[in-house]
Structure formats: C-alpha cells, structure tokens
Structure 1
Amino acid sequence: MPKLGAVTPILRMFDIAKAREFYLDFLGFEVQWEHRFDDNAPLYMAVSRDDCVLHLSEHHGDASPGSAVRIRVENIAAFHRELTDKKYRFARPGLENPPWGTREVSVGDPFGNRLHFYEDAGSPPEA
C-alpha cells in the first residue's frame, strides 16, 4: 500500500518584510531557501522550525489568503511563553483549552492566514 509523506502548506504573503517579521522574528522560523524567476518576479520561500516546514508565496495562484494550518507542538506551554515574552506588537495569543481535547495557541499572520499550534491535552504542562 502506498505511504504518504509530510505535508508542506503553502501560505500566501503580500509583504516580504512583514512576513519575515512575523515568521522569523516572532514565531522563530528560519529561511531554508528563497526563489524568484527573475528580479521582478514574486518571491517563493521556505521557512522551517524543527520539523515544521511552511512555504510562503507572493504568487497569486499559489494559495488563497485566509488559510488555516494546524501544527503539532511539544510543550505548548513553553511555546506560548516564548511568544508572549516577545511582546510582539501585533499578536498576544492565549493558551486555550478547546473542548476537543487539545491545548492550543492560535495566531493570525499579517495576511489573514491562521496558524493553530496544538498539543494533546493529555500532555503534561511544563513545570
């Protein structure tokens, strides 16, 4: 039987500086690579943090603004603390306990995409 591999979401972006500020400075991702067909072409880039890889694209046909992505996190309490300690001007996410059995930190990027970082509620919180 065929085996499926990891998923790499493509998220639409409209402003490279804002994308870098949000994904690199606030969320702690790093740029893996960038691509343009020429100097005046839209940017397509890959960012990653640990095992999470996201593609960000200025190409109008690659993705629709307003997408949502769920990203599993180990130690969501520490991740939440890391984000809130940065005092990012545009987002102060909470640590939620929705009724479906997870603990979540949800944040919207500057382009209307939503990232839902989650951990199963059965995971012990960090002391």
Structure 2
Amino acid sequence: MSTSISMKRPIPVLRIFDEEKAREFYIDFLEFKVDWEHRFEEDLPLYIQISSSDCILHLSENYGDAIPGTSLRIEVGNVELLHEKLLGKKYKFARPGLETTEWNTREVRIGDPFGNRIVFYEGVR
C-alpha cells in the first residue's frame, strides 16, 4: 500500500443553460474539442467533457452541478497568440483584451454566455 497521496489536476464543472450557445462559445470560438457527452435520456440535460491540450472542462446543464458566475484561471503558453486568434474570429459577443498585470502575468479575460468568467494567463518572463 502506498504511503503518499498524489493529487491530479482538477476538472472544473461549469454550469450552462443552452447547448447551442455553449457549443458556439467553447467549441467554435475557444476551439475546445468534445471528448464525450452524456444524457440519462434524450430529453434530459447535457453533461459534456471538452478539452484543449491538457485543459479539461466539464459543462453541465444539470441543476445543482455548478452555479453560474464561476471564475477560473487557465494557464496557457503564448497568450498573445491566443488573443490574436480570438480577436481574428470577430465573435459577436466577445472581443477580449490583453492585459499585463501588477502580479507579472499577461491575461485574456472573457465571460461565457452563462456568466462564468475565464482568465487565460501566462507568466511574464
């Protein structure tokens, strides 16, 4: 029996209310890919895993899985390129800026259609 504890990366669960808007934002705009989806029955809420590189998120329409207004920070390599790609898409609902913070990060902050806030960040060298 092992005597050490090894914790892995957390997987945040974000509340969504509209599958079409979620796919437009997370899949089309942010370019995450769908890993899998689940519904207990065809007309019941969606639970979906999406990913981009090592970043995994769960999105849920199920009441009680998460609350709207969640904030999360996602570390990225080359946040400037991410920023350029997002602006180049001319997404109707978001044109995020790129900020250098006092705590030595470069950050792109964006809200999803459900009130969740995502900060993509990279440490300043």
Please say whether Structure 1 and Structure 2 have the same fold, judged by a TM-score greater than 0.5.
yes
Partner of residue 60, structure 1: 63
CA distance in 2, matches of 1:112, 1:26: 16
Show structure 1 runs of 4+ deviating over 6 A. Answer: none
Partner of residue 108, structure 1: 111
Q: Please report how far the alpha carbon of residue 21 of structure 1 lies from its aligned counterpart in structure 2 after TM superposition.
A: 0.2
- Confirm whether residue 14 of structure 1 aligns to residue 17 of structure 2: yes
Q: Name the % identity.
A: 56
Partner of residue 41, structure 1: 44
Q: Please report how far the alpha carbon of residue 96 of structure 1 lies from its aligned counterpart in structure 2 after TM superposition.
A: 0.5
Q: Deviations over 1:31-64 (max 9, x none)?
A: 0000000112110000111111100000011000
CA distance in 2, matches of 1:3, 1:102: 28
Partner of residue 125, structure 1: none
CA distance in 1, matches of 2:122, 2:96: 15
Partner of residue 84, structure 1: 87
SS across alignment from 1:100: coil
Partner of residue 28, structure 1: 31
SS across alignment from 1:11: strand
SS across alignment from 2:27: helix
CA distance in 2, matches of 1:53, 1:4: 15
Q: Please report how far the alpha carbon of residue 98 of structure 1 lies from its aligned counterpart in structure 2 after TM superposition.
A: 1.4
CA distance in 1, matches of 2:27, 2:94: 14
Give the gaps of 5 or more residues in structure 1: 123-127
Give the gaps of 5 or more residues in structure 2: none
